[in-house]
Structure 1
Amino acid sequence: MATRLLSRWVNASVARPCTAFKRAISNGVTDYQSKYTQQLHQRADKLGLTVSQLLEKAKADDAERRKAEGEKLKASAAALQKTSQTTDSSLASSSSLRPVEDGPSKLLSKRKDASPIKPLSSILNIPRILSTPHTAEQISALWTAYHGSRSGGTGRGYVCASIPLDMFHKMARTGRQYPTFVLPLPRVRLEDATETSSGENELAHEFFYPAETCSSSNPSCATVLFAPLQEYKLRGAFATPYLVLTMYTDLVSSHGLVLLRGEITPSSSGDKHMLGQEDAQALTLSLQRFYLWDDKKESEDISEGKRLLQAFHETPEKFEWQDLLRFSKTLP
């Protein structure tokens, strides 16, 4: 399954309140709607379209992009599944994997009074893996195939990946320095939502705020929590995370491997999740764009993400929401 890396990094021992965020949010969001509506009309005029046609085109392009993304993920998962099937049969045995409950009630009950981070030992039989000859490639294939089999074989509710160790170290260093950030996700308003004076639908953005997390029982883990901005403003540290990313380093010394697991919080009804699969993947990718720096060889894309992250923390008075929204539109 393709790797998509996401937005704010939390080290278990780090706890820094984001005072910069409170100052920045009051400056930029109030007049965003009017400015964006004007830009929307200008964009439509430039393309020779009506605003309605522009929105339809945007929705069609987005649907096509998501479809292509899904096909790539399916192809990657199928390839990894085939690889895992060619390895020793013990890889797929219950001795190497422990069952993980899919039921939302168990997951939510654990998150009420304990860390939401599931230790790797509850998923993989670590002693079994260390005592038998498993390669890093075999473990990666097993990890991907296992999560792809969740939720009735759809893989819904989870994202997973194997992360190169050097990439993990780079992101960890950035995360310790800048542990909080906000990420925009594109949204198209429904027809029954608030309309403009011309009656056209507007494009809007939903912000996700990586909140602080309590200390994990597994000190080797790094975690990222994502919650809607409005949820965080209302509940603060008690905000419900919609997505929890965990990066396990248990196998670094033995296999040089970091395993990423993302869990999307189930909705109260139990048959859906609080966040869409594509949005979870988009947030995971955003983590890489803002936190994976390479001072020796930085692309223009990485440099802009670095600049925005630094401005958010170091010079909040210079942080521009419009720049963040513009940069987010360049996501592949």
Structure 2
Amino acid sequence: MNPSSLLFRRCVGRASAPTRASQRRWAQVHDVRFYAAHQNPSKVQDKYRQKLDQKAREKGLKDAEELRSAYADKINEFKKKAVVPGVNAPLSEQQPPRPENAAETIPFQPPPPPQPTQIPQIPKSDPPVKTLSSFIDVEKTAELPQKEMETIWRLRHVRDGQSLCAVMQTETFRRIAATAKKHPQFILPLPREGQGAEIHFLQWTFPSPTTATVLFTHLAEFKLRGEYAQPHTTITHHLDLADEKGLVLLEGRVMENKGISVDEGKFLLMTLQKFYGFEAHTDSAKANASNRRKLMEQFSGGDENFKVEELLEEAEKVP
């Protein structure tokens, strides 16, 4: 056989295969029940007309039409009883047969609509800052001399072992507040015997015209939790009598089980006043104040030249 003709037959055979496949692919499959339900009714009637007419005459009726009318109710009742679910039901209601060992299939369900983005919930903060009137009768106290005011203020907190209490001149507070508004955040060291120093983060807030608050937090916890870090010490300055009496009443609290004692809280408060409000009179004191101011400016500005070693050195110096 000529090789070229053999090659031609192979090519023809390969080309014809898709044609047959496509024919099978597009072949239509019809349900036999479709034809059974759509046979010509006249053929069925002609086939059984004689028998139906004979049956009608036996019943005293004229023909098959009268027989059908007479038994219409019974015919309908028999049709209803003859319906078998899944067999006589319309094709749209019938289910295809399941293989006995077929695995259970879960019908497809569309995914639920996307939930709206949840805004992270901010933990509830501590109760609002207490006003001065929650501690003393401001009007009656304002009528007293400064010495008696200081005594009443200290006696008001003497029974609370976790409280901090002090009285400050208005001019001193104004210097501190002016610096606090320039540098609302800073860090202070707390010496630990035999362990070097522990660094604490402080933040100033001014919640109302008559209050200024300082929050102290462990620096390690602040780095870990940021604004959600819980302060271990809170200090509030009350300015209600600042103009009239020239005094600012200070009160605060060291939280229990936060790793800070009351004496350590007092040390942090004194160190804060050293950096924020110390009034220098001697040359050496002015030099120290200048170095502390430089450290605060470097910290607030994110200067890479800020050194914790210098901070420790300045904190240990006598004012």
State TM-score, norm by structure 1. 0.54
Residue of structure 2 aligned with 1:158, choices 151, 157, 163: 163
Provide the identity percentage: 30
Matches within 5 A, 1:35-46: none
Gaps of 5+ in 2: 1-122
**CA 1:238–1:126: 2 relative to 1, 3 Å:** same
1:275 partner SS: coil
One-letter identity of the residue aligned with 1:221 = T
Distance 2:302 2:223 in 1: 21
* 1:126 CA displacement: 1.7
Q: How far 1:222 moved relative to its partner?
A: 0.8
- Choose the corresponding residue for 2:247, options 254, 257, 270: 257
Runs of 4+ in 1 over 6 A off after TM superposition: none
Note the C-alpha offset of 1:139.
0.7
Identify which of 113, 117, 120 aligns with 2:129: 117
State the shift of 1:144 in Å: 1.4
Kept in 1: contact 2:170–2:243 (CA 8 A): no
Residue type at the aligned position of 1:232: F
1:1-332 counterparts in 2 under 5 A? 112-115=124-127, 117-130=129-142, 133-148=143-158, 150-151=159-160, 156-188=161-193, 203-211=195-203, 213=205, 216=207, 218-267=208-257, 274-292=259-277, 294=279, 299-314=286-301, 316-330=303-317
> 2 CA distance for matches of 1:157 and 1:121?
20
* Aligned-partner residue type, residue 139 of structure 1: M
Question: How big is the shift at 1:112?
Answer: 4.2
Distance in 1 (CA, whole Å) between partners of 2:318 and 2:278 is 17
| Shift, 1:315, TM fit | 5.5
CA deviation map 1:181-230 (0-9, x unaligned): 011111245xxxxxxxxxxxxx33211101465x63x4311111000011
Contact 1:211 1:237 in 2 (8 A): no
The CA deviation string for residues 248-290 of structure 1, in whole angstroms up to 9 with x for no partner, is 00112321210011211123xxxxx642122111101111111
**What is the aligned partner in structure 2 of residue 86 from structure 1?**
none
Q: How big is the alpha-carbon RMSD for the aligned residues of Structure 1 and Structure 2?
A: 2.4
Deviation at 1:328, TM superposition (A): 2.4
CA contact 1:292–1:302 (8 Å) conserved in 2: no
Number of residue pairs aligned between Structure 1 and Structure 2: 195
CA shift for structure 1 position 330: 2.7
Q: For the residues of structure 2 that align with 1:331 and 1:243, how far apart are their CA atoms?
A: 24
Aligned to 1:134, what secondary structure does the other structure show? coil
Q: Is the 8 A contact 1:163 1:260 kept in 2?
A: yes
* In structure 2, C-alpha distance between the alignment counterparts of 1:172 and 1:180, rounded to whole Å: 12
Contact 1:162-1:259 within 8 A present in 2 as well? yes
Higher relative contact order structure (alpha carbons within 8 Å, sequence separation ≥ 6): 1
Q: Could you tell me how far apart the structure 2 residues matched to 1:296 and 1:315 are?
A: 30
Question: 1:66 corresponds to which residue?
Answer: none
Q: Which residue of 1 aligns with 2:50?
A: none
Distance 1:266 1:232 in 2: 18
**CA–CA separation in structure 1 for the residues paired with 2:280 and 2:215:** 26
How far apart, CA to CA, are the structure 1 residues paired with 2:288 and 2:157? Answer: 31
Q: TM-score, normalised by structure 2?
A: 0.56
Question: Which amino acid counterpart does residue 325 of structure 1 have in structure 2?
Answer: L
Taking a change above 3 Å as real, the CA distance of residues 157 and 274 of structure 1, as seen in their structure-2 partners, is farther
Decide whether the 8 Å contact of 2:188 with 2:272 is kept in 1. no
Q: Distance in 2 between matches of 1:222 and 1:204?
A: 31
Q: Structure 1: give runs of 5+ residues left out of the alignment.
A: 1-110, 190-202, 268-272
The structure with more radius of gyration = 2
